[in-house]
């Protein structure tokens, strides 16, 4: 599978180049050029197949010529010490729990795979330096994934504010391979400095710099694997139609689902579940995309006004507008309905679901009713965040305390970065040079 920019039909680049450079120079995003149908590799799998087995089979069949089955097994072993969990709630509904990774968010899947596959692709080429701007818990997720990969040092660039959840023992001065740097400025300043460092040829070559941006295709690909996993767990004894409901902010998860479908997964539709930040719904219905000011809601990870994956989704619609309109159903859920969905899940199924999952559950119910799906369509709701991350909200809505897993309890611990700098390239490069 080769990759091209959403903005042009060429040049084509290898998976390795798309992962290591991650942004085409024309301002587009990397997408697979021709999609491989890999149905034959997963259709025989069933509920006895483990997630790791699935990934170790599917990844090399997608990346033929770049990732052989042995490499794929190594990557899988290294990346996934956690797995998705499919819970069948009733005839029409399942939950796909994607929150069992180190930070309790589905993003752990993409980050863990990216780190492990980068290590595999760069083997024997000395040590490389990965730069990443950190927001929320992605810094912790990256530190967890890259601290296992000895071919890398990871520079996490933080904006002003507390830095949380890192283990000082993993920092470079203490013998580890993580370099957390705080910039006196905003997240955008962090991103700018990273781009400047990448474009500073001499510096970038001296340290072998790459980046692990959120829109890296090496993070998108592994997200297709858990859709396939849900499918193989569910297909037995089930003849009806299948849909996925996806809580959507930057739309990475939804796009991964569309790729799983293109890889041959039989599925009838995707629900693009949004909160009040629903401008993308107009685009999905066939209108132009006009961004609107951000609204703060109770499902903050979906508070996005311009989705970073816009280019990728738009290229799907450009290729096959009618197919897409029959495939993706937009829904917008208010805070009030989000809260009642948390309550509903607790009362009906005795499960805690986080606010983002609640948006997807409410959207699934709304779409099923509007389209009269009852009894004919089985919907898999993607549970993207661990409910223990919102322990206060869970207690407030359900009246029940939730146990916080040990792995998540460290996320709030404050850490000192190894340096705090002004938002300037020379200060940034100085700190990095001092680590060698």
Ligand X SMILES: *Cc1c(COP(=O)(O)O)cnc(C)c1O
Least Cβ distance, residue 248 to ligand X (angstroms): 4
Rounded-to-10 torsion of CA 277, 283, 289, 293:
-10
Are 299 and 356 in contact by the 8 Å Cβ rule? The answer is yes
Residues binding ligand X: what is the number (CB under 6 A)?
14
Q: What is residue 10's three-state secondary structure?
A: coil
Token digits for 155?
A: 């520079």
Token digits for 233?
A: 């767990």
E strand spans, 184-311: 209-211, 241-247, 269-274
Least Cβ distance, residue 106 to ligand X (angstroms): 6
Instruction: Give the closest residue to 220 by CA, choosing from 249, 252, 194.
Output: 252
Least Cβ distance, residue 183 to ligand X (angstroms): 22
Query: Does residue 218 bind ligand X (CB under 6 A)?
Result: no
Least Cβ distance, residue 385 to ligand X (angstroms): 3
**Token pair 């072993």 is at which residue?**
77
* Residue with Cβ nearer ligand X (56 or 313): 313
**Neighbour-count burial for 150-179, b at 16+ CB within 10 Å, e otherwise:** ebbbbbbbbbeeebbbbbeebbbeeebbbb
Token digits for 152?
A: 């890398």
* Residue with Cβ nearer ligand X (110 or 176): 110
Instruction: Give the closest residue to 319 by CA, choosing from 28, 37, 33, 38.
Output: 33
C-alpha span between 396 and 297 (Å, rounded): 17
Least Cβ distance, residue 78 to ligand X (angstroms): 23
* Residue with Cβ nearer ligand X (106 or 152): 106
Site for ligand X in 97-116 (CB under 6 A): 105, 107
Least Cβ distance, residue 65 to ligand X (angstroms): 29
> For strand 93-97 and strand 128-133, is the pairing parallel, antiparallel, or unpaired?
unpaired
> For strand 93-97 and strand 85-90, is the pairing parallel, antiparallel, or unpaired?
antiparallel
Site string for ligand X, 379-398 (x = CB under 6 A): -----xx-------------
* Residue with Cβ nearer ligand X (102 or 151): 102
Site for ligand X in 234-263 (CB under 6 A): 247-253
CA distances for 109 relative to 4, 119, 166, 237, 262, angstroms: 23, 16, 19, 28, 20
Helices (H), 36-131: 39-42, 51-62, 69-79, 107-121
**Token pair 């491989």 is at which residue?**
36
Token digits for 6?
A: 């959403």
Q: What is residue 424's three-state secondary structure?
A: coil
C-alpha span between 112 and 205 (Å, rounded): 25
* Residue with Cβ nearer ligand X (209 or 254): 254
Least Cβ distance, residue 105 to ligand X (angstroms): 4
Least Cβ distance, residue 249 to ligand X (angstroms): 4
Rounded-to-10 torsion of CA 343, 295, 281, 232:
-50
Least Cβ distance, residue 215 to ligand X (angstroms): 10
Site string for ligand X, 294-313 (x = CB under 6 A): -------xx-----------
Q: What are phi and psi of 237, to 5 degrees?
A: 65, 25
* Residue with Cβ nearer ligand X (128 or 327): 327
Token digits for 408?
A: 């998540």
* Residue with Cβ nearer ligand X (247 or 269): 247
* Residue with Cβ nearer ligand X (177 or 224): 224
Least Cβ distance, residue 340 to ligand X (angstroms): 19
* Residue with Cβ nearer ligand X (60 or 387): 387
Least Cβ distance, residue 278 to ligand X (angstroms): 13
Say whether the peptide bond before residue 294 is cis (omega within 30 degrees of 0): no
Site for ligand X in 349-368 (CB under 6 A): 356
Are 219 and 197 in contact by the 8 Å Cβ rule? The answer is no
* Residue with Cβ nearer ligand X (105 or 154): 105
Judged by the rule CB under 6 A, the positions of this chain that interact with ligand X are 105, 107, 247-253, 301-302, 356, 384-385
């Amino acid at each position: 599978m080769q990759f091209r920019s959403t903005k042009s039909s060429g040049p084509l680049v290898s998976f390795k180049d798309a992962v290591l450079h991650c942004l085409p120079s024309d301002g587009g995003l990397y997408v697979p050029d021709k999609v491989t149908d890999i149905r034959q590799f997963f259709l025989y799998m069933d509920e006895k197949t483990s997630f790791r087995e699935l990934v170790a089979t599917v990844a090399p069949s997608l990346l033929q010529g770049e990732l052989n089955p042995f490499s794929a097994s190594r990557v899988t072993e290294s990346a996934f010490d956690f797995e998705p969990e499919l819970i069948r709630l009733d005839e029409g509904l399942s939950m796909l729990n994607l929150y069992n990774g180190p930070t309790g968010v589905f993003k752990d899947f993409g980050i863990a795979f990216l780190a492990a596959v980068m290590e595999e692709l760069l083997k024997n080429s000395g040590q490389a330096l990965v730069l990443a701007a950190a927001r929320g818990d992605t810094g912790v997720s990256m530190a967890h994934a890259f601290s296992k990969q000895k071919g890398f040092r990871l520079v996490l660039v933080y904006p002003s504010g507390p830095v949380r959840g890192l283990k000082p023992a993993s920092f470079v001065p203490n013998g580890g391979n993580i370099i957390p740097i705080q910039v006196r400025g905003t997240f955008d300043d962090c991103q700018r400095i990273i781009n400047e460092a990448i474009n500073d040829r001499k510096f970038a070559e001296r340290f072998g710099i790459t980046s692990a941006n959120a829109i890296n295709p090496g993070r998108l690909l592994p997200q297709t694997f858990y859709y396939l996993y849900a499918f193989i767990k569910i297909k037995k004894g089930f003849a009806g139609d299948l849909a996925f409901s996806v809580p959507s902010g930057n739309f990475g998860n939804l796009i991964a689902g569309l790729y799983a479908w293109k890889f041959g997964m039989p599925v009838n539709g995707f629900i693009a579940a949004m909160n009040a930040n629903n401008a993308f719904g107009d685009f999905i219905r066939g209108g132009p995309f006009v961004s609107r000011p951000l609204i703060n809601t109770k499902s903050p990870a979906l508070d996005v006004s311009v989705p970073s994956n816009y280019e990728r989704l738009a290229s799907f619609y450009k290729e096959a507008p009618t197919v897409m309109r029959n495939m993706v159903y937009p829904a917008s859920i208010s805070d009030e309905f989000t809260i009642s969905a948390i309550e509903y899940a607790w009362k009906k199924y005795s499960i805690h679901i986080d606010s983002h999952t609640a948006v997807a559950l409410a959207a699934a119910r709304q779409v099923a009713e509007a389209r009269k799906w009852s009894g004919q369509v089985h919907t898999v709701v993607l549970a993207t965040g661990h409910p223990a991350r919102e322990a206060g909200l869970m207690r407030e809505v359900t009246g029940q305390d939730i146990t916080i897993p040990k792995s998540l309890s460290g996320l709030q611990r404050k850490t000192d970065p190894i340096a705090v700098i002004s938002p300037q390239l020379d200060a940034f490069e100085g700190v990095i040079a001092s680590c060698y």
